[in-house]
A and B are shown apart, each in its own frame.
With several copies, the nearest count.
Chain A
């Protein structure tokens, strides 16, 4: 529909359609949606016809990416690494991701290669997991880091997805690295309204969300700093089907330009625009590309 008078209708930019179709994959949360929209704009500008398919989990799009049903996905460095690692070596395999982006990338590349996936250079922008408490709780106990919380020495209930248990970037890291006493993991979705409610009304003390979550402040919640670095490097990186990349080598430049320009602050800002100002991801993406002078 061309009801929209926004200047950002990429489909109308000249060269559309003569390089064939590209399927952009991704997950259906705000950030991924914005990045998919940025990818779509870039690709359409490069003359492709673009279809975007946002799905719920990595399980769904990754096999499709390696099969070539999906061509390109904006993904997170450590998340992708861990996924491929456990897929190959089993759920109890030792983590090969770390808080060092270069090392993580080095671990990822061979794993991705095996699946027919190429990893383009990651951006500096990251979206790591993070833990939050209520503003009141933080003020009462003068908390700003996870170490502060551990120093309190009180058992805490953690609201996080069930897979948190034992993970080094979650319950495992919190107990082993920080020495937190986690009495119970209440299974609540990542960054969900439920977990935020539960923290706010004290059913749990600690909740899990992402560093680019723009909504916490409004809800009276605060992040605690990961001062001991248990969170692996979740730098944003384009994952491309290897065959597709081989057929379209010029894409690498396009996406490198994006990765260089993108920062964590950009992500948080764009998230706020979508999550709070309710702008459409496509519009936010177009604005971003224009501001950065990429398009």
Chain B
């Protein structure tokens, strides 16, 4: 094998684990991770912002619920490739394409969990709140949503983790964060890069997941006191 001198051995051997890679490509890895992170966070937040009102509309009656849940179902079944191509004419090769797509996907999970969470609020607590004169809005904000937090956060966690994974698909419009690195590396069998990008993806998902768990603990202190 005629290889240029001074090429690190792990590049030559195409090893999965290659510390040299991590130092050589640090800027690329950092940039990609940062991009991945903000795309994920913004997408999920956008999804949540849309999901809550949708869920609220949905629970007004069974027919509307079917429509809303059905529509988000349809979106979820559109393959990412197709969804991005649908968006492309409007938003072009920009992060917006990816974010809209990812937010739309997260809707499916979020709408259902927001709905399930709200349904789980005990009737007598709802009655007490209504009885002291809570408006629907206030009851929602002060009673129902807080009590639904565990189920909503469960949904947020799934949505976040799934968005971290899906964000790699953004590489088809070149905003895929770690997905860009991954796709390139898969293309030319650069194992060290495949490994690094995958590990960072997982780490990102793990950190976000843990973060949300902590947020949940923080905002639901009452669940910690056993009766």
Interface flags for A255-279 (1: CB within 8 Å of B; 0: not) read: 0000000000000000001111110
| A-facing residues in B23-79 (Cβ within 8 Å) | 24-27, 30
Q: Are B171 and A56 in contact (CB under 8 A)?
A: yes
A59 to B173, CA, bound (A): 11
**Given the complex, which residues of A lie within 8 Å of B13, measured CB to CB?**
90
Interface flags for A155-195 (1: CB within 8 Å of B; 0: not) read: 00000011111100000000000000000001111011110
User: Does B226 touch A at the CB level, under 8 Å?
Assistant: no
Are A278 and B85 also in contact (CB < 8 A) when A29-B184, A90-B13, A163-B187 are?
no
Q: Are B188 and A165 in contact (CB under 8 A)?
A: yes
Q: Are A60 and B27 in contact (CB under 8 A)?
A: no
Q: Are B188 and A275 in contact (CB under 8 A)?
A: yes
B81 → A minimal CB distance (Å):
8
13 sampled A-B residue pairs with Cβ under 8 A = A28-B180, A29-B184, A55-B172, A56-B172, A60-B93, A63-B88, A69-B92, A90-B1, A90-B13, A94-B2, A162-B183, A162-B188, A276-B11
Closest to B92 in A: A69
User: Does B190 touch A at the CB level, under 8 Å?
Assistant: yes
Q: Are A187 and B93 in contact (CB under 8 A)?
A: no
A194 to B84, CA, bound (A): 10
A166 to B21, CA, bound (A): 19
Q: Are A64 and B93 in contact (CB under 8 A)?
A: yes
User: Does B14 touch A at the CB level, under 8 Å?
Assistant: yes
User: Does A3 touch B at the CB level, under 8 Å?
Assistant: yes
The 7 residue pairs across chains A and B that have the minimum distance between CB atoms: A163-B187, A278-B11, A53-B174, A56-B172, A162-B184, A1-B27, A162-B187
A33 to B41, CA, bound (A): 28
| B-facing residues in A184-211 (Cβ within 8 Å) | 186-189, 191-194, 197, 203
A23 to B93, CA, bound (A): 11
A163 to B187, CA, bound (A): 4
| B-facing residues in A1-55 (Cβ within 8 Å) | 1, 3-4, 23, 25, 28-30, 33, 53-55
* Chain B residues in the interface with A (C-beta under 8 A): 1-4, 7-8, 11-14, 21, 24-27, 30, 85, 88-89, 92-93, 171-174, 180, 183-184, 186-190, 192
**Given the complex, which residues of B lie within 8 Å of A94, measured CB to CB?**
2
**Given the complex, which residues of A lie within 8 Å of B189, measured CB to CB?**
86, 91, 193, 215, 275
Q: Are B1 and A218 in contact (CB under 8 A)?
A: yes
Q: Are B183 and A30 in contact (CB under 8 A)?
A: no
Q: Are A54 and B93 in contact (CB under 8 A)?
A: no
A253 to B82, CA, bound (A): 39
Q: Are A28 and B174 in contact (CB under 8 A)?
A: yes
Across the A-B interface, how many residue pairs have beta carbons closer than 8 Å?
A: 125
A140 → B minimal CB distance (Å):
24
A269 → B minimal CB distance (Å):
10
Q: Could you say which of B3, B8, B88, B172 contacts A187, with CB atoms under 8 Å apart?
A: B172
Are A29 and B187 also in contact (CB < 8 A) when A53-B174, A90-B14 are?
yes
* Chain A residues in the interface with B (C-beta under 8 A): 1, 3-4, 23, 25, 28-30, 33, 53-57, 59-61, 63-64, 67, 69-70, 86, 89-94, 161-166, 186-189, 191-194, 197, 203, 215, 218, 273-278, 280
Q: Are A56 and B183 in contact (CB under 8 A)?
A: yes
**Given the complex, which residues of B lie within 8 Å of A55, measured CB to CB?**
93, 171-174
A191 to B92, CA, bound (A): 19
Q: Could you say which of A30, A64, A188, A280 contacts B188, with CB atoms under 8 Å apart?
A: A30
Q: Are B1 and A29 in contact (CB under 8 A)?
A: no
A274 to B185, CA, bound (A): 10
A211 → B minimal CB distance (Å):
16
A23 to B173, CA, bound (A): 13
Q: Are A63 and B188 in contact (CB under 8 A)?
A: no
**Given the complex, which residues of A lie within 8 Å of B1, measured CB to CB?**
89-90, 93, 218
**Given the complex, which residues of B lie within 8 Å of A30, measured CB to CB?**
184, 187-188
Q: Are B85 and A187 in contact (CB under 8 A)?
A: no
B21 → A minimal CB distance (Å):
7
A273 to B12, CA, bound (A): 11
A274 to B190, CA, bound (A): 9
B180 → A minimal CB distance (Å):
7
A170 to B150, CA, bound (A): 52
B31 → A minimal CB distance (Å):
8
